[in-house]
Chains A and B, each alone.
Chain A
Amino acid sequence: MDEQTTLLEQIMAYDFALYDLQLFLNTHPSDTNALRDYKMALEQSENLRRQYQNRYGPLTARYLPNTTCWQWINDPWPWNNKEV
């Protein structure tokens, strides 16, 4: 697996953990352990996203790389096999 895919799959794992904790916290809003886990996963996810977007371009349109061209539209999209 190449470096880009490895990094992306790490982000996917942290983001999934965040969503799962979000659902748990919706019905357990004062669970301090879940809150602590959410905070840790959020820091990890933000850190990895920063690295990914600097190297490989936007994960959301609200990230603007330091280039003269709009990179948001670039292939591959999530439903494409890598070699588009």
Chain B
Amino acid sequence: MWLYDKKTQYPIKITKPDPRMAIAILTQYGGPNGELAASLRYLSQRFSMPTKEAKATLNDIGTEELAHLEMIGTMVHQLMDKVPPKELERLHVDTNFVIHGRAVYPSDSNGVPFTAAYIESMEDPIANLNEDLAAEQKARATYEYLLSIADDPDVKDPLRFLREREVVHYQRFGETLRIVQETMNSKKYF
């Protein structure tokens, strides 16, 4: 089980509101390559992982993704906080406003609600780990897109941190895939 720590994984302090950037970043909250999907994917897949290294990796990265979800939610909140409705209308993010106000809701940037259809969890650990590698690369690409449209250093800094974490996760999943393959091969032949 989990114990909550009253801090974010990396510091976030955004003082300049930017509702359009908030809606862009929102896809990493509840979109197809977002942190909620990542967390649910790994925390569900861990139950059928065959080695202790794989169980630990999926458990711990699945947990870290929840901390990333919190970081993204914090960014969306700080970018949207107290922006007047008329300003939201002028910036064309009023459709989101009339549904949710300035709250953080798990959807992608187009308002499509989160769905578990974004993830898979199979008994085959090789299938899962290959999906996880693809997911990390897709998340990294999304952070690259977000960085290419962001200007504020207070926004870019945490986005860069999150992009680097996807790179590290990709690396660890690659190692895990090799460990699982080696274990399965040795069981088959000896």
List A residues at the B interface (Cβ < 8 Å). Answer: 60-61, 72-75, 77-79
Contacts and interface: CB of A to CB of B under 8 A. Distances in A.
A73 B47 contact: no
A75 B52 contact: yes
Contacts of A73: 52-53, 55-56
Interface in B55-103: 55-56, 59-60
Q: State the majority secondary structure of interface residues on B.
A: helix
Interface residues of B, number: 10
Q: State the majority secondary structure of interface residues on A.
A: loop
Of A72, A74, A77, most B-chain CB atoms within 10 Å: A77
A45 to B, nearest CB: 11
B150 to A, nearest CB: 33
Nearest to B47: A79
Contacts of B59: 77
A75 to B, nearest CB: 5
